Structure 1
Amino acid sequence: MALLTSLSPDVLLERLRAALAEPRRDHPELARLARRLAAFIAAEDLPDRLDAWHALMTWLAGGRLWQDVYIDVVDVHGPATQRLAVLMDVLAGDAELAGALRAALRGLLDETDGANLFGEVGIPSDRGFLSEFGDRLTAKLLPQPRVDHDLAHLVGRSYRRRRDLDLVRALHPSTLQRLMELLFPADGPEMTRALRRAMADGFRLLLARVAGQGLSEKLRARGSAQAVADVPFARLARFGEALVADWEGGALPDAAMDAWQALSHACRAEMQVVSRRLESEGISVDIVYGLDVLERCLNRLDALVAVMVEGGAAPVLALVQQLVLAAHQSSSLRHLVRINLQRLQRRIVDRAGQTGEHYIADTPGEYRHIWTAAAGGGLLTVGTAAMKMTIAGAGLALFLEGLGSGLNYAVSFLLLQAFGLILATKQPAMTAAAFAAIIRDRQGAERLDSIVDAAARICHSQLAATIANVVVVAFGAYAFNGLWAWITGHAFLTASEARYVFKALSPVDSGTVFYAALTGVILYLAALVGGWVDNWAVYHRLPEAIAEHRLGQRVGRLRMLRLAGIVSRNMAGWATNVSLGLMLGMTPVLGRFFGLPLDVRHVTLNSGILSLAAAGMDLQWIGTGHLSLAIAGVAVMFVLNLGVSFALSLLTAIRAYELPAEDLRELRRRLWQRLRTRPQDFLMPRRLPPAP
């Protein structure tokens, strides 16, 4: 063995070639394998051994060696496991080399602690979502020190890239069984001693995490009412400690697996109770984070128990694959955010979807109501546009101008909500959520047809609201300007202000295209804010707190109950309208403050502003083509305001509901077919047949 550790890579390469059959022995990758094996076997200290092992794992994950299928005596190996098959053939044909590799591997395992690998990797910390996010972000931005004595650190280094996972994912139990026989032979129990000790320690760490997280106040308050000792998480921790002690002693009870599975199922049933309470009482990211921690701990414990009780290659492979995937995901910010915010997204989408149902006309009567409500919204927007131009021309300080514009928008949007009026640009975020909810709820053969019908209803409802908004705000602005001129003797906007408006709205001479798309993003964000605030109010039981407030002793309990009902029904709308108004008003100010090209282009507001500008100009100037460009700019705003907002909202809903991609592809095909065969469905609702 000592002689083998002193061999050069060139001599070791000859031994590798001798262990392989023709024509595999002449492949150039064998030289790289020889260098990595030689470095690992000859490493004199732990850091060198870890670096050499990492290099060897990188070689094994390198993918295909030959274009044909590599066949050995046990398996038919695909591209991902060809290199591992070569290594196993070499070790099977050279007992001395296999012994040297086992000795080096044993040294690595004896000098490292694997408790964190089994009990910590892939399990988020107990400090909460924000702390975990901060830790992962810091790890990405700053260099991290080596932790050579922690086996988890080595696994994390070895599986950072996606392609590093391919080898482990492609393994078959028979392949792993052969590898275990080569590296961990049954007649060498000293090879597995360190791993068994690490598994036991990791198992106990996981039991402690389950007990601590499952018995936390925030979960107990939303779980089943029972004594702490009877909570499934506490019972699982007690049974698990006895189970691992029996395993270390080599005498597991016959019914150990059945008893464990029953307790694990009870824990998951309790988590379902908490989840249902969250869906009805409001989502907390920290509680969702805690449930995710519990789910991961239980999955890891189940995999470890299967290895302890059943043994064999299949449970070991399942555990290895779980550990490797967890190590890969443990540094991913995207995975952390996606898993923990999905429930909150679903809650927001569900609330928006309930609101969006009011913006979809199913009958001619509802269609007429949309026209009427949107006309009222356009009329109210005339005053909003006039106030906007007044604030912009008042010469206020930058911050005050933005705040004044934002409050003007917010008050206007709140009045729209109070009077039940419609602003077309607020529809897409709501109707997209309702659209996704329809996709989620429909099942069976009629599902896609129902979705296409809903899309047609959304389209003609949106068109009706937009046309009514724009037409009424345009004519209303002309009427307002005429009234203003009759009272004051001059147009509402001066000639220079009107020229500025024409130039600013042009899609060619200004940033109208970008600003209109940015406005679509703002419309989407405002809908998210509304859903989040509504969830916050439900989670913190704000309506109940208002109903039970001591102020009721003075004004009466009935009045407080009515106020609580008003808050409950309107909180999401208030938050959406106020946040939308402030974002629309402050975005241009922030852009000018930071020197960034930021501005907003809202189709209804700018239709009113354009009409105010055109009403104050003479016909000769309007005929120069500037009006045509400005009208084209309004058309661009219509497409981008509504399109960007709808697309982002629908994407959020799709992610929240995890809709399959094949359904979306089939949906596009059916939508196009309906548009070709019955385009009138997208323009107006079909007339209902007369009642018999």
Structure 2
Amino acid sequence: MSFDMILAEIKSSLALTPAYNDISPLRRLVAQIRPRQATDKQRATDNIRALCFVLRQHPAWRKALREYVLQVISTRTLVHLLTDTGITLNNGFWGAAWQRLINKFLPPLVNNDYVKDIFGQIFDHPSDHIWVNELDESTWQDLIDSIGFRTSKARQAHAALTNEILSAVQVLSYRITNIGLEAELVRNYPEIERFESPFLRQNDEINNYVISYRTWLNDCTTAREDNKHIEVLLSQCDDIVNRIRKTAAVAGVSVSLTRLLLRLTQSMHRLRSLLDLLDSTDANEVSSIAIRLFKELVSADNKRHSLTDLMQTNTELLSLQVTERAGKSGEHYVTNNRNEWMAMLRSALGAGFIVGFMATIKILFSKLALAPFGYAVLFSLNYSTGFMLVHVLHFTIATKQPAMTAALIARAIDEGKQKLDELVELIVRVFRSQFIAIIGNIGLAIPTAYVIAWVWLWMTGSHLVSPEKAEYLLHDLDPLNSLALPHAAIAGVCLFLSGLISGYYDNKASYGHIPARLRQLAWPRKIFGEERLHRITDYIGDNLGALAGNFFFGIMLGTIGQLGVFFGLPVDIRHITFSSANFAFALVGLDHHISWQLALYSLLGILLIGIVNLGVSFSLAMLVALRSRRVSFGRGSTLVHLLWRRFRSGGRDFFFPGKEQHPENQAPEQRDQQH
């Protein structure tokens, strides 16, 4: 249907029914403007220009469209569109997620009396926000001028719309006051209770402002207050929000606090937009503010059922804290000198020794006749206990590093975007630390497993693994003829998730004051005594994240393979350190009757499994860390070039530490990390 037909229909409908406000013609008008491809800005621009041309050529249609649009808006309640659309509701994160999921399958009832509901009916394509926001402000301004909203009749409707906006301003102000009194906000900023709260004062000022404005609307000869004093109070509210965010960087944060801060900042942003709209005296400025608000509302309405958008907006501060704490943990996995490098080697060797025994226990568990659930429990117990023991003994699993060091690199990118040379040196140290950790893990996992297999044969007279089992273990290392690499990728995802879990529980221990709360319990004090209880609770506070991450990582490794068996899916995990131990078991189980080509090929498989483990874990962790910081790094090619040049000039530094440097000759970030 063309613009001519739609506009003619609107004119004839108004002639028959002066109070005509059905939105069907408006929906068809927007559909005619909408480009086939949401990203086709030029087509959308051309469509609006075509509509503007038609309106200028037909003054009667122009007048009819103006009266029709004003009637559609003024005969319905506008407040809810301005106060609800684009602002997080106070129903909790999980409640909001469940509601959005339900609304995807069973949309809520449309109330024709609310502009908020018909707004979603008019811009009903999920991608409408793309072309609406892509269009230049001047294009929308041309459309406003072509419709002619500045006529005397349009100004008559202005008072009714202004009163709706004033009501929305009051609603937003009350919400800001309510959020400012929330117990969780007060807990994170106790000064609110000791001083006069700007959250309360802004509401008093808003109420006075609204009364003054409505008086002025009725009698334009009276003076009208501006919003400058309100802006001062809102700025004070902003300061409190920023202080709470800084406190959260040290004391931790929760989803509920993140959601409160999000709702507060959204409400204050919308309140400022409406106040600017009310106070502006320049017609072009009013149009500019209205267009920005319109684009904002279309985007929010299109995403009102999006679970992805809910996750991104409501967990942003929490995800930043989780990755930030992972980044701080990552500092312990970066070696800066020869002593730290050797300490990392010793730590990795210790982990390799323990993994050799863990692999043995898993082999023994697999010989039991159990259901998949039984295997999952025993395997998970083995993995979780072993990994937690590795942490308690201050050993290092190489594959745990990428999830931590990726967050450290993301923080370096965010804090020093221009210092590529320092970033290169950080990556060199990370690579060097990762390399020696892998060497240490494999370097002792293989001989430990090898010795255990021979001791088992000597003690029992039979091999730990049968020849058939040995062939199966070697097949699992085949990178081409088995699913070794996809299974290694699954293990990489588990490593990434365990890093997030570690960051989450570190944040939880800090925000929830777990050590202090444990010290309040009477029975631990009786068992351990006051001094020992303090040491235990302090250890829990410092290590809860690492212990939880290792515990859940073990559960993931132990259950995924059994879930694959239960559901009949080719799903399992491959981990470089356990794969290297399995290679040693197979070697003894076959009495070394394998060709050197097969041995070399199996070692290549182990290497590729490790690369996939590390690559997947690092990539996912880096992606999340950058997104949580809203950082986009567009200088990747330059960084790669600098890394290659650095490798050519000193390739040895990627694997072995150089000579000791005097502190003043080191990069600033090196000195900071050493301190």
TM-score normalized with structure 1 length: 0.87
- After TM superposition, list the pairs within 5 Å mapping 1:110-509 onto structure 2: 110-159=74-123, 160-167=125-132, 169-172=134-137, 176=141, 179=144, 182-188=147-153, 189-227=155-193, 230-250=196-216, 256-311=226-281, 312-314=283-285, 315-442=289-416, 444=418, 447-509=419-481
> Separation in 2 of the partners of 1:449 and 1:631?
35
Say which SS state the counterpart of residue 545 (structure 2) adopts: helix
Say which SS state the counterpart of residue 510 (structure 1) adopts: coil
Query: In the alignment, which residue of structure 2 is the partner of 1:670?
Result: 642
Deviation at 1:393, TM superposition (A): 1.0
| Unmatched tracts of structure 1, length 5 or more | 1-30, 68-76
Amino acid of the structure 1 residue aligned with 2:494 = I
Contact 2:110 2:118 survives alignment (8 Å): no
Matching of residue 541 in structure 1 with residue 513 in structure 2: yes
- After TM superposition, list the pairs within 5 Å mapping 1:563-642 onto structure 2: 563-620=536-593, 622-623=594-595, 626-642=598-614
> Separation in 1 of the partners of 2:35 and 2:97?
31
> Separation in 2 of the partners of 1:520 and 1:235?
52
Structure 2 CA distance for partners of 1:522 and 1:538, relative to 1, 3 Å: same
> Separation in 1 of the partners of 2:597 and 2:42?
66
Structure 2 CA distance for partners of 1:565 and 1:167, relative to 1, 3 Å: closer
> Separation in 2 of the partners of 1:32 and 1:182?
17
1:293-317, CA deviations, whole angstroms, 9 ceiling, x for partnerless residues?
1111111111111111114232333
> Separation in 1 of the partners of 2:469 and 2:349?
27
Contact 1:503 1:626 survives alignment (8 Å): no
Which of 183-192 and 267-276 deviates more?
183-192
> Separation in 2 of the partners of 1:79 and 1:494?
70
Structure 2 CA distance for partners of 1:209 and 1:534, relative to 1, 3 Å: same
| Overall identity of the aligned pairs, in % | 25
Matching of residue 38 in structure 1 with residue 2 in structure 2: no
Deviation at 1:390, TM superposition (A): 0.3
Structure 2 CA distance for partners of 1:391 and 1:173, relative to 1, 3 Å: same
1:218-239, CA deviations, whole angstroms, 9 ceiling, x for partnerless residues?
2122224245993211211221
Query: In the alignment, which residue of structure 1 is the partner of 2:32?
Result: 59
Say which SS state the counterpart of residue 77 (structure 2) adopts: coil
Say which SS state the counterpart of residue 661 (structure 1) adopts: coil
Amino acid of the structure 2 residue aligned with 1:666 = T
Which of 410-419 and 308-317 deviates more?
308-317
Query: In the alignment, which residue of structure 2 is the partner of 1:655?
Result: 627
Deviation at 1:504, TM superposition (A): 2.6
Say which SS state the counterpart of residue 598 (structure 1) adopts: coil
Say which SS state the counterpart of residue 88 (structure 2) adopts: coil
Deviation at 1:171, TM superposition (A): 4.1
Which of 298-307 and 320-329 deviates more?
320-329
> Separation in 2 of the partners of 1:157 and 1:670?
53
Contact 1:120 1:202 survives alignment (8 Å): no
> Separation in 1 of the partners of 2:347 and 2:20?
72
Structure 2 CA distance for partners of 1:81 and 1:313, relative to 1, 3 Å: farther
Say which SS state the counterpart of residue 508 (structure 1) adopts: coil
> Separation in 1 of the partners of 2:168 and 2:316?
29
Say which SS state the counterpart of residue 256 (structure 1) adopts: coil
Amino acid of the structure 2 residue aligned with 1:576 = G
Say which SS state the counterpart of residue 335 (structure 2) adopts: coil
1:142-184, CA deviations, whole angstroms, 9 ceiling, x for partnerless residues?
3444332221123223444445543455343696277257442
Contact 2:380 2:554 survives alignment (8 Å): yes
> Separation in 1 of the partners of 2:573 and 2:455?
28
Query: In the alignment, which residue of structure 2 is the partner of 1:17?
Result: none
Contact 1:81 1:167 survives alignment (8 Å): no
Deviation at 1:689, TM superposition (A): 5.4
Pairing partner for 1:107 from 71, 79, 102: 71
Structure 2 CA distance for partners of 1:38 and 1:136, relative to 1, 3 Å: farther
Say which SS state the counterpart of residue 596 (structure 1) adopts: coil
| Unmatched tracts of structure 2, length 5 or more | 666-675
Deviation at 1:510, TM superposition (A): 2.1
Amino acid of the structure 2 residue aligned with 1:208 = Y
Query: In the alignment, which residue of structure 2 is the partner of 1:4?
Result: none
Structure 2 CA distance for partners of 1:353 and 1:105, relative to 1, 3 Å: closer
Say which SS state the counterpart of residue 660 (structure 2) adopts: coil
The count of residues paired between Structure 1 and Structure 2 equals: 648
1:328-348, CA deviations, whole angstroms, 9 ceiling, x for partnerless residues?
333332222112222112211
Query: In the alignment, which residue of structure 2 is the partner of 1:5?
Result: none
TM-score normalized with structure 2 length: 0.90
Which of 666-675 and 271-280 deviates more?
666-675
Deviation at 1:553, TM superposition (A): 5.2
Deviation at 1:423, TM superposition (A): 1.3
Which of 328-337 and 472-481 deviates more?
328-337
Query: In the alignment, which residue of structure 2 is the partner of 1:27?
Result: none
Query: In the alignment, which residue of structure 2 is the partner of 1:520?
Result: 492
Say which SS state the counterpart of residue 522 (structure 2) adopts: coil
Contact 2:348 2:437 survives alignment (8 Å): yes
Matching of residue 84 in structure 1 with residue 48 in structure 2: yes
Say which SS state the counterpart of residue 60 (structure 2) adopts: helix
> Separation in 2 of the partners of 1:359 and 1:229?
44
